[in-house]
Amino acid sequence: MAQRRAEETRARILAAAEACFARSGYDATSVAEICQQAGVTKGALYHHFPSKQSIFLALLRDWLDRLDAGLEALRASASTVPDGLLSMASMTRLIFQAGRGRLPMFLEFWDQASHDPEVWQATVEPYRRYRDLFVAIVRAGIAESTLRPVDPDTAAVVIVALALGLLLQGLLDPQGADWGLTMENGMQMLLDGLGQHESVGAGSPRPLEPTNLSG
Amino acid sequence: MAQRRAEETRARILAAAEACFARSGYDATSVAEICQQAGVTKGALYHHFPSKQSIFLALLRDWLDRLDAGLEALRASASTVPDGLLSMASMTRLIFQAGRGRLPMFLEFWDQASHDPEVWQATVEPYRRYRDLFVAIVRAGIAESTLRPVDPDTAAVVIVALALGLLLQGLLDPQGADWGLTMENGMQMLLDGLGQHESVGAGSPRPLEPTNLSG
């Protein structure tokens, strides 16, 4: 019972901190403001978290753990690698829709990471894990012949780049596009390629010189 | 003569501010520190810039103007759209190599933009200009039949996402890859597509069911 209450308090502090960070930024947010927003005393807050930074790192870990679980579930349930990648893109769509207010947090993580070694470590470690996950996914796609025999390392960072780059554009210009839909269409585009090439069963294959596209 | 000296002072202040912002972040940098780094008095600094934020915005504008000029030059000199896109990717490689220390500035821009309406305006306006530039480039590629008849708006944000997403990964994990080379290879991959498809002149076309790849 006491433990459950402690967990509720912890969750309330995290939610309050997330709201404060998103509103004012990490630097401008004081522990006092987080306490006020959460409706807890400083004593209660410091019982759970030794510092503002530790709240920040807990938020980061929670966020990454949820993302991790979601990606793994989609990977496990997909019949082919392209199917799985498209499902992951759809999940991102849900993240965009559900988490509008939370997205600026994401930028805070990255900005803090570039200045603070502890945050950097907490960010780069899961980043490398995701990258490795996508390397494994691309390898599986090549093995099952649904992906071309591309370099898995490059393909993995390109997939991660698509997700990060769309997230960043969505943060900067929320009204500029339907970002969730763009994520799905963008992933499809990455699978198909932008360059002209002979497509199976296309109406009229045109004679082209695909010099730059066949490398 | 006086004007030339004024321009030199302005440039020195900008370079000093960029170094300070990159080292300590925007919030933690004081005008006094920028003065010290630049070797100018506060009076001289305020003669050129009314506030720390105005220095920040001038840096942003300079950075974007240089990028703009570079992209336009490459676009104008390329024989085909894919050629032009690959040249732009190579330029990014040079940016990575030349500007390691400057890259954290980039994150500062985005983080500030998410909190400050004036910075947001100064960031979102050129962002939309780049996006429009790539929409026009993709349209030209479709017209010259070197690009498939994709949706130009989606393709443009996907290209911008690739650049932003690789930049962000390069910031977070500088040793994690040869980011410049990855930009070139990633652009080639975006042109080619990840998904398996019949390629012109390939040795052994395999019978596949490209259900997810032909959309």
Nearest Cα to Cα of residue B112 among B175, B155, B54, B44: B54
* Shared domain check, B73 and B27: no
B177, A128 Cβ separation under 8 angstroms: no
| A114/B172 CB distance under 8 A | yes
Is B214 a domain residue? no
pLDDT tens digits along A120-170: 888 788 888 889 999 999 999 999 999 999 999 999 999 999 998 998 888
The confidence score (pLDDT) of residue B63 equals 80
Q: How far is CA A39 from the centre of its chain?
A: 30
Is A197 a domain residue? no
Give the best residue of A21, A124, A153, A158 to mutate against chain B (max B CB count within 10 A): A158
- Residues of A within 8 A of B155 (CB-CB) are 189, 194
* Shared domain check, A64 and A11: no
* Shared domain check, A58 and A5: no
Average pLDDT, chain B: 82
How confident is residue A205, by pLDDT bands cut at 50, 70 and 90? very low
Dist CA B125 CA B112 (whole Å): 15
Give the best residue of B135, B157, B211, B214 to mutate against chain A (max A CB count within 10 A): B157
| B154/A127 CB distance under 8 A | no
Is A159 a domain residue? yes
* Shared domain check, B77 and B125: yes
ipTM over 0.95: no
The confidence score (pLDDT) of residue A212 equals 42
Among A146, A161, A208, the residue with its CB nearest the CB of B186 is: A161
| A111/B108 CB distance under 8 A | yes
The tally of domains found in chain B comes to 2
Is B155 a domain residue? yes
* Shared domain check, B81 and B38: no
The confidence score (pLDDT) of residue B101 equals 60
Domain final residue, candidates A29, A50, A71: A50
- Residue A147's DSSP bridge partners are B195
* Shared domain check, A88 and A41: no
Residue B113: which domain range?
52-191
Dist CA B80 CA B91 (whole Å): 17
- Residues of A within 8 A of B193 (CB-CB) are 148, 190-195, 197
Q: Closest residue of A to B206, CA-based?
A: A145
Max Cα–Cα distance, chain B, nearest Å: 74
Per DSSP, the residues of chain B read -HHHHHHHHHHHHHHHHHHHHHHH-TTT--HHHHHHHHT--HHHHHHH-SSHHHHHHHHHHHHHHHHHHHHHHHHHH-SSHHHHHHHHHHHHHHHHHHTGGGHHHHHHHHHHHHH-HHHHHHHHHHHHHHHHHHHHHHHHHHHTTSB-S--HHHHHHHHHHHHHHHHHHHHH-GGGS-HHHHHHHHHHHHHH-SB----TT-S-PPP---TTT--
* Shared domain check, B56 and B36: no
Is A215 a domain residue? no
Is B208 a domain residue? no
* Shared domain check, A44 and A72: no
| A111/B161 CB distance under 8 A | no
| B214/A200 CB distance under 8 A | yes
Distances (CA, A) of A155 to A131, A158, B12: 10, 5, 41
* Shared domain check, B120 and B38: no
Look-up of token digits 């799905």: A184
Is B56 a domain residue? yes
* Shared domain check, A150 and A109: yes
Q: Residue A9 belongs to a domain with what CATH number? A: 1.10.10.60
Verdict on whether the full-model pTM lies above 0.90: no
Q: Residue A177 belongs to a domain with what CATH number? A: 1.10.357.10
Per DSSP, the residues of A7-30 read HHHHHHHHHHHHHHHHHH-TTT--
* Shared domain check, A150 and A185: yes
* Shared domain check, B82 and B62: yes
